[in-house]
Amino acid sequence: MPYYDRIAKQWHSITGYSGGSFKRLILNDKILSKTARIEDKAILEIGSGNGYFMKLLLKKFSGQIPSKIIISDVSKSQLELAKKHFYIPDAEYLILDVYKKFPISDNNIDLILSTMVYNEVTDKGLINAINESKRILKHGGRMITAVLHPDFIDKQVKQGVIKSGKMIANKGIRVPVLKRSMDKYREIFEKANLKSVFEDVYGNTELYNEKPVLRKIKNIPIALIIESNYQFKI
Ligand SMILES: C[S@@+](CC[C@H](N)C(=O)[O-])C[C@H]1O[C@@H](n2cnc3c(N)ncnc32)[C@H](O)[C@@H]1O
């Protein structure tokens, strides 16, 4: 049983309608700003969690109609929450495990989004996810990937917030976190022949006011966004 099947309800009660403080105040807008338009685009979200993000994307580009929306997660319970709380009538809700072949045909997707998923999977899972993403992306397709920043994870391990591969998030909920160096991320994306831009994402004053504990590590980036273009398909 996928781990999030057990904690899905708690996860939703914590992350709610905007993904929690960091996403609401900083990360959501950063990711949204990396998308120029969605009209006629086929969009896949991997590891959607409770599905709040696709609603934000549709709201930002209100009036533009994607050709396809696929909301996916390995956890059935997360998808059920997504359907219950952030239902999108024309979307397909799909069980997709990044360790396996994606149940999507080749050359199908324009934009793949994933937020805080690949910092929970091993190198094997990430490499498979990238290869599968390349297979299903159209020529010129894009991936926008956000993960917990390796420096942030290192710090949380040192401070004992991450123990035995789990991070204690709000309200005592424990979420899986795997350590991966910045060099390893670069190596994996480079080997996949993806033209990628890496961006460190820091907190801001508003976030530190809401989450004072993060002020102590304000010189450390919280997230890493990797924007990849797939221009090499023949
Ligand atoms: C930290 S949550 C992030 C959820 C959402 N993207 C967000 O930002 O709120 C990680 C999500 O990744 C999903 N996940 C974990 N392992 C996965 C896998 N092997 N394949 C697909 N999704 C996975 C979990 O079920 C969970 O919903």
Residue where the block lists tokens 């006011």: 209
Q: Check pLDDT > 60 for residue 233.
A: no
Mutate to test the pocket of ligand 1, among 22, 55, 98, 120 (most ligand atoms within 8 A of CB): 120
pLDDT band at 196 (very low <50, low <70, confident <90, very high): very high
Q: Tens digits of per-residue pLDDT, 93-116?
A: 999 999 999 999 999 999 999 999
Q: How many CB atoms lie within 10 A of CB 48?
A: 28
Q: Give 3-148+179-226's CATH code, choosing from 1.20.1250.20, 3.40.50.150, 3.40.50.720, 3.30.70.100.
A: 3.40.50.150
What H or E segment, with its residue span, contains residue 175?
Answer: strand 174-176
User: How far, in Å, from the CA of 234 to the mean position of ligand 1?
Assistant: 31
Biggest CA-to-CA distance, the chain = 50
Q: Say how far apart CA 153 and CA 156 lie, in whole Å.
A: 5
Q: Check pLDDT > 80 for residue 168.
A: no
The stretch 58-74 carries a mean pLDDT of 97
**Confidence at residue 29, expressed as pLDDT on a 0 to 100 scale:** 97
| Cα distances (angstroms) measured from residue 33 to each of 56, 75, 115, 130 | 12, 28, 14, 22
The stretch 87-98 carries a mean pLDDT of 97
Mutate to test the pocket of ligand 1, among 12, 117, 170, 178 (most ligand atoms within 8 A of CB): 117
Q: How many CB atoms lie within 10 A of CB 198?
A: 14
**Confidence at residue 234, expressed as pLDDT on a 0 to 100 scale:** 39
User: How far, in Å, from the CA of 49 to the mean position of ligand 1?
Assistant: 5
CB-ligand 1 contact for 203 (6 Å cutoff): no
